[in-house]
Amino acid sequence: MKEDKPQHSANIRVAVATGNVDCLDEMGQDGCLTELSGYLPQPIRDHSAQGACKMSASSIVIYHNPRCGKSRQTLQLLRDAGHEPHVVEYLKTPLTTVELDAVLKKLKLAPRDVMRKGEAVYQQLGLGERDVPRAEALQLLVENPILIERPIVVRGSKAVLGRPPENVVSLL
């Protein structure tokens, strides 16, 4: 018999991206969804004494493209330092606009700052020829995740772009 996943993954994904959002129950109330706890990546779960489901400040998330050499180097650097990050292959599991906005705020960067200008889609969309409002830029990045510079590593309220890979040392 196939077990269906609960329909609350968006709340959990926002918690993973922002690092400071409690899990919500079906009514939108604070609390931990016990039926979802098995679906949360182990490095992300941190149940406090009060039972609230919060992101651990020591949890590391890497938005990773395994085809990218810098991304692979950054992941290896984290592992060599004794950390096993939660790996999000963002081309397979694209971020939502809320998640991407939260990550960009942690990076203290604008959407344009993380756009890969050498990608064909960047040229096709004419992004080098016009100013793009933040909301539109976020949407374009969500719709075309190949445009997002990688890797991005998040730990708690901070994030860094792993270019060069040694940038992640500041999070350790």
Residue among 132, 139, 162, 159 nearest 149 (CA): 162
Lowest mean pLDDT among 12-21, 31-40, 141-150: 31-40
- Report residue 97's pLDDT band, with 50, 70 and 90 as the boundaries: very high
Catalytic residue among 23, 32, 53, 68: 68
- Report residue 58's pLDDT band, with 50, 70 and 90 as the boundaries: confident
53 a catalytic residue: no
The domain segmentation of the chain, as residue ranges, is 9-55, 60-171
Instruction: Tell me the pLDDT of the chain averaged across its residues.
Output: 77
Written out in words, the top-level CATH class of the domain with range 60-171 is alpha beta
CA distances for 59 relative to 4, 62, 98, 136, 153, angstroms: 27, 10, 20, 30, 10
| pLDDT over 90, % of the chain | 66
Cα 127 from Cα 129, distance rounded (Å): 5
Q: Do the beta carbons of residue 149 and residue 119 sit within 8 Å?
A: no
Please state, as a whole number, how many other Cβ atoms lie within 10 Å of the Cβ of residue 165: 20
* Residue 152, beta-bridge partner list: 63, 161
